[in-house]
Structure formats: structure tokens, C-alpha cells
């Protein structure tokens, strides 16, 4: 049911990293050997690292541990350990114990210090964490550590994802070629603020942790925080960025802007893959908001349109219901002047400065809305800032998937 | 598909008011004579009035006119005119013209001054308003004005509503008996802040407009603003309260608290009818939030749970997925301490102070979630304030209704 999932080029190995996976039946012992569900990303050297976490006030233990680890060891990260099938969330005091045990099992398997390990868990909330099976899995994953295992790793972090998601890029800076490879997962509950999403990006570009942290926040705001499937956000969402470059002996980049641009593009690609695989999504819609007073305003308006159930069901029904889009803009909370708003779908001008455009014909709008991919462009007429948000439609399949998730 | 729609007692006539309806084919000439779609509520005397309007920044002309009229004529209102089938919204400059023509047609039909008339339009956005048919309808409605026509009026304001909604009450204050009768409509887009909802309440209790306005705001916050079907809000939502008492010569009430209590109960009844008739709703769920630092916090948490698509699909699937409820609480933006939260479904204690309750069994939770009506109770452990929100589930029928609304 994914919308035009692209055929992805194989992910590129990143100097300084090895990856391993295993199948240990995290969700149920019956699944052992059936699908990869634990992964280990190990740095050969101390990596500089940054993280962006869920905005949900219920934060799973892995998020709390990760945040803490980054405050003290952001320049010495040696591994990320992750599992799919159990979120280790909503479990009270045991959550902390299991999260630490997960970290220790990964550290022991990889032969690194547990204080230098980040972890992520994704899956069902509230089911006791099967630490024994996961511990075994981690040790098995360590036996498969190689530089070119990123694709397996992308598979191993999936939950309801129907395809594995990764992207790689290379950039030349000052005569050196650096690689970025990222994997991610997420399909339901995808919404601004890192909803049930895991993303891990590794690079050998030499960037200090003190630069990585603010950069990753900016990049997340223009990529993962600009997608929406159903407006919900989860307890475990995490984006980690690891850089091996300084550990490998490279001189830190004086100007990180080229790298940031490449990272932004990579993260947008990853984020769009998540929308294409959104639960029950049958359309991929780009919401472009221009003429806003600020980028934040533009993003708020784009998100308001992207999460409106009435807009999303109109997408699903191929109904060019511009009234619902304008109503969603009006609900965004942003100061707007309804007489300044202009709205198009692809190249069809629907609504111009407060009025339905005289040449607009419903049939033309419908033709756009029937496409599997199209762009809604809004001009607010309030300034010159822009933002783009990517979203899907709200379909019967979404209901089926989510009403029957645990049954 | 409505959830346990109650058999309603006939609405009571209210001294000082007459009501008329007509069928003029607002949505399409083919519907003329098939269903009532215009209504006229006329005061025999000058009425004191108050209104609460949509929070959407796109406000239809009827809302803008109504707000303006109340600033100058809140003690002299003589009529409410309303139509279903066309929202007269998203139509640019013509919207204002048509809204005024609607008001004038009602005023002329009722024989009152147009400056003393409030109006509401509900229905499709962006379709030219059929003022000629509506004008004819208004004059026809005027020929049917009687004191006991409230039920017909409740029918005439429906759009996708599957049943007509009204409620009446009588209260004795200082030896006098006063009547309250209210009608309302709304099924989709129902959400806090008066979403695609119309409500008109008439009373002969003598209360000055200056008291009515703040009272109606408080009442709306505890009734219509505490319901949610899909989290969307519309351009036309309006709640009007008219009091004929002072015009009829009664002395204004010195103490309005008894009246406010009766009005609150009446509006909660009306609001609950809207949830029971929510688009595609198959369950009626009460979200009770206790132990909050403030009533506003409690309401925010209740709404966050009530609009979460993941929670609503869990309701639809009879899946006692307490993790999604807690995640929605965490997303509400309110400061919470996850170790203080307690959660029950009816009398089944699921989660207590940050931990899954040791006696909780999934089967017990499922039994509650299978019922057509149940209550989720949250205690935040942050204070002593409470709020109650009413909501429905998110079903396949919602998608069907909204993906195919205009087709």
C-alpha cells in the first residue's frame, strides 16, 4: 500500500562503522529466525554524536538514557543498539532496568564501554521487555558486524513498515570525500516532533559534537519534523547522528554548511520514505506554504493542513475540497488575513486572495486530487518565509491497521 | 450508526418565542419539499442575547455579522434565521452580500428590523449561496410561526446529522418557573471551540445581556467545547442564547447561578447528542480527567486523548490500548509527572502511578472497551482540578462519509 516506494540504491559503507543484525524474536519467540529485529551499529573509534528526541512527556527509558549519555559522552560514543518489536515503554521502574540491560548487552557484545552506548527500542508499549532473548540477539548481531551491513540494519529496525528505508550520499569538502548513510523506520504515529520514528545517520565527516547538536536540531526541523501521518507522536522517537571523522584523525571542518545541506537533503529523503510508507497511505501530498511571516508560522500552517482529518479524508476520496484546506489554515492558530490567501493544487489555481478563482473548475481540481502525488501550494500573503510539509491521506486501511494492531 | 440516541421528550415552548420552518431546497432545488432546511426563531419582544463563535480564523460572514450585531443590539434581538445545505463560506466578497440578504429576508418575513436579526448558515463551503430560494423559504417559514415548532426547527438545521437534537428544561427561581429550550446540529468536524456546530437556546428567564455573555462563554467551555469527533473546527460554528424575560416584563434575576447550572446541564445534553451522532461513531466515550493543576489543564489533557487518532482507532477496535492513551496524555503539552498518573477504564484499574497495575489483565480492559459506552478516568496527581470530555471512536464509516461527502 506504500505510495511509489522508490527503488533505493544500496547504502554506502561509512568509514569507521560496522553494522550487525540478528533475529531473536523480540516480539514473540515464534518470530526468532523469521525477521531481523536487533541491530548493533559500532564505531571503530570514539564518535562525536548528537540526538533529537520525542516531544512526548512520556519518554521511554531509552530516550532518557540517551539524553543523559549525550550530556556526558557526546564525544565518545561507540555504538547504537536497537531493537524492534517491544518499545520498553509504559513499564514503570522495570523500564529503566531493562533499558540499561539492553545497553549493557550491546556494549558487552561489541566490546565497548556501556557508558558510550546509545539505545533505541520500538514496538508495542506496555509489554514486559524480553531482555534474555535480546541479550542473545545482541551477541549474535556482534558476530555479523561488517561495514556493508546497513541494508540489513534498516530491515532490523522495522515494525509496521512495509519496506526498509535508507539513504546514502557523498560530498566533497576541501578535497576530501565524506560519506553519509542513514536508516530510519516509522509508519504510523508519524508527526512533527519525532513521532514513533527512529533514524540513525552515520558519517565520517569530521564535525565536533558541539556543532552536531544544534545542526541536527535545525535539520530535524526541516525534515523529520515536517512529515505527518496521523498527528500522533510517540514515546520513543529518536534521531541520532554519529560522526567518526575526528576519531579517524581528520581535522574538524571549519565550515560545516555544505555538510549541513547534504545532511538536510538526506534526512528529507528519509522522512519522505516514511510518509510514502505511512499506515494506510495511498497518496503522497506535499504542502508548500509560502508568504508566511516566519518559517515557524509556515510550518505551523503546513502541519495544520497535514494533520486535519477532513483534509486527509478529502485526499483519500480524491475530492478537491479546498474549503477544508482553508478551514485547516484558519485552525492553525497563526494570524492570517483571509483576504490575502492564495491556494493551488499543482498548477491549478483554486483560490486567490480571499476569492474562489473565476476560472477554477472543480473538474480541474479533481484531476489533480486523483493523482497519487501532488502539491498543495498556499501563499499567506503575510511575508516571505516558507516551509514544506509532506503528508499522506487518511484511508480505510489506516483504520484497519490501527484498530486491529494488537489483535 | 448513532450511539444509543435517546428518545427525546418533546421540546417545550418558551414564552416569548415562535418558530417556523420551510423546505426550499437550499442545497439543490431537487430537495425542495423533501426536507426542512430553513428556520426562523422569532421573539415576540426584544430579547437579550449572547453568542459564542468558532475559533477558526476563517469565519463565515454569518459569524462576522452576528458578532457585530451583538456589539450594538444585544438587548434588542428579535430573530435568528438559519439555513442548512450551504455554509455561505469561502465565497469572498459575495459572502457578505448574501449574509446580509439572508438576514434581510428573515427580517422582512418576520416583520422585524434587520439590525436585530442574527443568522447562521451551515453546509457546503464554496458553493454560491442560493439567496432567491432561501428568501422564498424564509417567507414560507414565517407563515408557520408557532410556539411549539421547536422540533421542526431542530430538523431544519441538520446537515449530515442522522437525528434531530433538542433539549428542554424548566427551573423554579424565586417562585417563578422558567423554561429553557435548545436545539443544535453537528456531527462531523466536532471539536472544542465550536466546530461545525450550531446551537440555539431560548429562555424566558430574565437575564441581562451583560450577564448572558460571560455566562455563555463559561457554559460553552463545559459543554460544547468538551466534545470532539475529529478534532477539526469549522468556519461557521455558533452558539446563540436568547432571553425574552426582560422584554416580557420580568425583573432581571439577582442571582443567576441556578439558571447557569440549568443552562450548563442543558448544553451538556445537547453536546452529548452531537457526539452520539458523530460521523461514523460507534462508541460514546467519556474522558474524565482528575487531579489536574487547573481545570484548563484537565480539559487540555482530556481533549488530547479525545482527538488522538491512535486512541480513537483503539476505541473502534475494542483494543484496551492504555499505552496509546498515556502517549496522548504525554502529547498534550501539559506538564505531567509520568510517575503520578493513574488510569482506569470504567472500574478496571489499568495503570497506577507510573506502573501497569499488577492485577490488571488485558481481558478485563478489553471487556470494557467492547462496550458501546464507557469511561476513561485519568488522575494526573498534580492537583485537584477536573474536567470531562466526551468523544467517539474513529471508524471506517468516518472515512467513507468524509472521503465521499461531495461525490
pLDDT score of A1? 61
* B188 in reach of chain A (CB within 8 A): yes
Q: Which residues of B touch A188 (CB under 8 A)?
A: 310
Q: Do residues B137 and B242 share a domain?
A: yes
Separation in Å, CA of B212 to nearest CA in chain A: 27
Report which DSSP code applies to B281: -
**Domain final position from B276, B301, B317:** B276
Question: B350 CB near a chain A CB, below 8 Å?
Answer: no
Active-site residue identified among A39, A54, A122, A196: A196
* pLDDT in the model for residue A406: 55
B152 found inside a domain: yes
- Residues in chain A with CB shorter than 8 Å from the CB of B233 are 327, 331
> Do A233 and A340 belong to one domain?
no
CA A101, CA A231: separation in Å to the nearest integer?
A: 32
- Give the pLDDT score at B90: 78
Here the cell at position A234 is 510517540
Q: What is the DSSP letter of A111?
A: T
A355: contact with B, CB 8 A cutoff: yes
Among candidate residues A276, A304, A333, the one where a domain is terminated: A276
Judge whether A396 is closer than 8 Å to chain B, CB to CB: yes
Decide if B322 and A90 are in contact by the 8 Å CB cutoff.
yes
Rg of chain A over all Cα atoms, to the nearest angstrom: 22
Nearest to A402 among B87, B310, B404 (CB): B310
Distance separating alpha carbons of residues A352 and B109, to the nearest angstrom: 36
- A7 Cβ under 8 Å from any chain B Cβ: no
Selected for mutation to probe chain A from B186, B196, B279, B327 (highest A CB count within 10 Å) is B327
What is the CATH classification number for the domain harbouring B36?
Answer: 3.60.70.12
Q: Is A280 on the interface with B (CB under 8 A)?
A: no
- Comparing CA positions, the residue from A264, A259, A223 lying closest to residue A243 is A259
Please tell me whether residues B165 and B298 are part of one structural domain: no
Q: Does any domain span residue A316?
A: yes
Angstrom CA distances, B345 to B13, B304, B314, B320, B374, stand at 40, 17, 13, 9, 7
Q: Which three cell numbers stand for residue A292?
A: 508566511
B398/A314 Cβ within 8 A: no
Residues B266, B177 share a domain: yes
CA distances from A160 to A155, A189, A201, A280, B317 (A): 11, 11, 21, 11, 17
Q: What is the pLDDT, as a whole number, of residue A193?
A: 38
Q: What is the pLDDT of residue B194?
A: 37
Nearest to A133 by CA among A21, A19, A28: A28
Task: Chain B: give the shortest CA distance to residue A107, in Å.
Answer: 28
Active site residue A235: no
> Looking at the domain assignment, is residue A6 inside a domain?
no
Residue in chain A closest to B323 (alpha carbons) equals A125
CB-CB: which of A91, A335, A407 is closest to B356?
Answer: A91
Same structural domain, A291 and A270: no
Quick one: B176 and B263 in the same domain?
A: yes
Q: Which domain holds residue A84?
A: 17-276
What is the C-alpha separation between A79 and A115, in angstroms, rounded?
10
The residues, any chain, with a CB within 8 Å of residue B356's CB and separated by 6 or more, are A90, A91, A92, A126, B322, B350
The strand pair at B373-379 and B238-243 is best described as: unpaired
Q: Is there a contact between A186 and A281 (Cβ–Cβ < 8 Å)?
A: no
Q: Which residues of B touch A319 (CB under 8 A)?
A: 403-407
B236 vs A3: CA distance, rounded Å: 35
Interface test with B, best of A399, A404, A405 (most B CBs within 10 A): A399
Residue from the list A188, A338, A407 with its beta carbon closest to the beta carbon of B317: A407
Claim to verify: residue B50 and residue B187 sit in the same structural domain = yes
Picking from A251, A276, A301, the residue at the C-terminal end of a domain is A276
Domain-located, residue A7: no
The size of the A-B interface in CB pairs under 8 A is 190
pTM of the predicted model as reported, rounded to 2 decimal places: 0.82
Mean pLDDT, chain A cut into blocks of 10 residues (407 residues total):
84 98 95 95 98 86 95 98 90 90 97 97 87 97 97 94 94 96 78 64 97 96 80 75 97 95 96 87 94 95 90 90 88 89 96 89 94 97 96 83 64
The reply to whether A328 touches chain B by the CB within 8 Å rule is: yes
Chain A contact probe: residue of B57, B128, B234 with most A CBs at under 10 A: B57
What pLDDT, on a 0 to 100 scale, did the predictor assign at position B195?
A: 42
Does A403 contact B324 at a Cβ distance shorter than 8 Å? Answer: no
A58 in contact with B at a CB cutoff of 8 Å? yes
Round to whole Å and give the CA distance between B269 and B162: 17
Q: Residue B292: which CATH number?
A: 3.10.20.340
CB count within 10 Å of CB B23 equals 18
Judged by CB atoms closer than 8 Å, whether chains meet at B57 and A313 is answered as no
Point out the residue among A89, A233, A403 whose CB comes nearest to the CB of B317: A403
| Residue A4 lies inside a defined structural domain of this protein | no
Q: How far apart are CA A30 and CA A219, in angstroms?
A: 39
Which residues 109-148 of chain B have a CB within 8 Å of chain A? Answer: 124-126
Residue A10: inside a domain:
no
B-chain residue closest to A350, CA distance: B126
Q: Does residue A321 share a domain with residue A298?
A: yes
pLDDT at B356: 85
User: Which of B205, B233, B1, B20 shows the shortest CA–CA distance to B110?
Assistant: B20
Distance from CA of B304 to the nearest CA of A (A): 10
Q: How far is B251 from A100, CA to CA, in rounded Å? A: 72
Q: Name B248's Cβ contacts closer than 8 Å, sequence gap at least 6.
A: B15, B16, B44, B45, B204, B206
Nearest by CB to residue A313, choosing from B308, B334, B402, is: B402
Q: What pLDDT shows up at residue A405?
A: 56
Terminal-residue alpha carbon distance, chain B: 20
- The pLDDT score that the predictor gives to residue A192 is 34
Of B56, B328, B338, nearest to A330 by CB-CB distance is: B56
Does B406 contact chain A (CB < 8 Å)? yes
Whether A1 is covered by a domain: the verdict is no
User: Any chain B CB within 8 A of the CB of A89?
Assistant: yes
Residues B259 and B367 in one domain: no
Same domain (yes/no): B393, B253: no
Q: How many domains does chain B have?
A: 2
Grid cell listed for A23: 533475529
Specify if A74 maps to a domain.
yes
- Is residue B355 exposed (0-12), middle (13-18) or buried (19+ Cβ within 10 Å)? middle
pLDDT in tens, chain B (407 residues): 678 888 999 999 999 999 999 999 999 999 999 999 999 999 999 999 999 998 888 888 999 999 999 999 999 999 999 999 998 987 888 999 999 999 999 999 999 999 999 999 998 777 899 999 999 999 999 999 999 999 999 999 998 888 999 999 999 999 999 999 999 998 654 443 334 689 999 999 999 999 999 999 999 989 988 887 555 566 778 999 999 999 999 999 999 999 999 999 999 999 999 989 887 888 999 999 999 999 999 999 999 999 888 898 889 889 898 888 988 898 898 999 888 999 999 999 999 998 889 899 989 999 999 999 999 999 999 999 999 999 988 888 777 777 765 54
B314 in reach of chain A (CB within 8 A): yes
Closest CA to B403 of A233, A99, A311: A311
- pLDDT of A190 reads 45
DSSP-assigned letter for residue A87: -
Contact A310 B232 (CB under 8 A): yes
Looking at the structure, do residues A46 and A177 belong to the same domain, yes or no?
Answer: yes
The chain B residue lying nearest A194, using CA atoms, is B331
What contacts A377, CB < 8 A, 6 or more positions away?
Answer: A288, A290, A343, A344, A345
Residue B262 phi, psi dihedral angles, 5° rounding: -65, -40
Q: Which residue has the cell 475540497?
A: A321
Grid cell of B244 as nine digits? 425574552
SS3 call for B55 = coil
ipTM at complex level:
0.75
Judgement on whether residues A110 and A187 belong to the same structural domain of the protein: yes
Give the nearest chain B residue to A57 (CA atoms): B330
Amino acid at each position: 500500500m506504500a505510495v511509489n516506494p522508490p527503488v533505493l540504491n544500496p547504502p554506502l559503507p561509512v568509514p569507521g562503522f560496522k553494522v550487525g543484525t540478528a533475529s531473536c524474536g523480540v516480539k514473540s519467540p515464534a518470530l526468532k529466525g523469521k525477521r531481523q529485529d536487533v541491530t548493533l551499529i559500532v564505531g571503530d573509534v570514539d564518535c562525536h554524536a548528537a540526538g533529537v528526541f520525542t516531544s512526548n512527556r512520556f519518554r521511554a527509558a531509552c530516550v532518557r538514557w540517551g539524553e543523559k549519555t549525550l550530556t556526558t559522552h557526546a564525544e565518545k560514543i561507540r555504538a547504537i543498539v536497537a531493537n524492534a518489536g517491544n518499545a520498553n515503554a509504559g513499564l514503570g521502574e522495570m523500564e529503566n532496568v531493562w533499558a540499561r540491560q539492553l545497553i549493557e548487552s550491546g556494549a558487552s557484545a561489541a566490546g565497548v564501554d556501556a557508558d558510550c552506548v546509545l539505545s533505541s527500542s520500538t514496538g508495542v508499549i506496555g509489554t514486559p521487555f524480553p531482555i534474555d532473548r535480546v541479550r542473545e540477539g545482541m551477541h549474535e548481531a556482534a558476530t555479523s558486524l561488517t561495514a556493508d551491513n546497513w541494508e540489513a540494519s534498516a530491515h532490523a529496525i522495522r515494525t509496521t513498515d512495509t519496506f526498509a528505508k535508507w539513504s546514502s550520499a557523498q560530498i566533497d569538502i576541501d578535497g576530501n570525500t565524506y560519506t553519509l548513510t542513514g536508516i530510519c523506520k516509522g509508519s504510523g504515529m508519524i508527526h512533527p516532533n519525532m513521532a514513533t520514528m527512529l533514524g540513525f545517520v552515520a558519517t565520517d565527516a569530521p564535525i565536533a559534537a558541539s556543532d552536531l547538536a544544534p545542526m541536527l536540531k535545525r535539520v530535524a526541523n526541516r525534515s523529520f519534523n515536517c512529515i505527518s501521518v496521523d498527528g500522533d507522536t510517540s514515546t520513543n522517537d529518536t534521531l541520532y547522528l554519529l560522526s567518526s571523522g575526528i576519531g579517524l584523525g581528520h581535522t574538524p571542518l571549519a565550515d560545516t554548511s555544505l555538510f549541513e545541506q547534504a545532511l538536510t537533503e538526506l534526512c528529507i529523503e528519509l522522512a519522505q520514505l516514511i510518509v510514502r510508507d505511512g499506515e494506510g497511505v495511498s497518496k503522497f501530498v506535499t504542502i508548500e506554504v509560502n508568504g508566511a511571516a516566519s518559517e515557524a508560522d509556515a510550518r505551523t500552517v503546513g502541519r495544520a493542513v497535514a494533520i486535519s482529518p477532513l483534509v486527509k479524508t478529502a485526499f483519500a476520496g480524491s475530492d478537491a475540497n479546498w474549503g477544508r484546506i482553508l478551514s485547516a489554515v484558519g485552525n492553525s492558530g497563526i494570524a492570517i488575513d483571509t483576504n490575502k490567501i492564495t491556494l493551488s493544487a499543482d498548477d491549478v489555481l483554486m483560490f486567490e486572495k480571499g476569492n474562489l478563482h473565476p476560472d477554477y473548475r472543480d473538474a480541474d481540481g479533481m484531476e489533480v486530487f486523483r493523482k497519487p502525488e501532488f502539491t498543495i501550494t498556499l501563499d499567506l500573503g503575510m511575508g516571505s518565509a516558507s516551509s514544506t510539509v509532506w503528508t499522506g491521506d487518511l484511508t480505510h486501511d489506516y483504520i484497519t491497521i490501527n484498530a486491529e494492531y494488537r489483535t
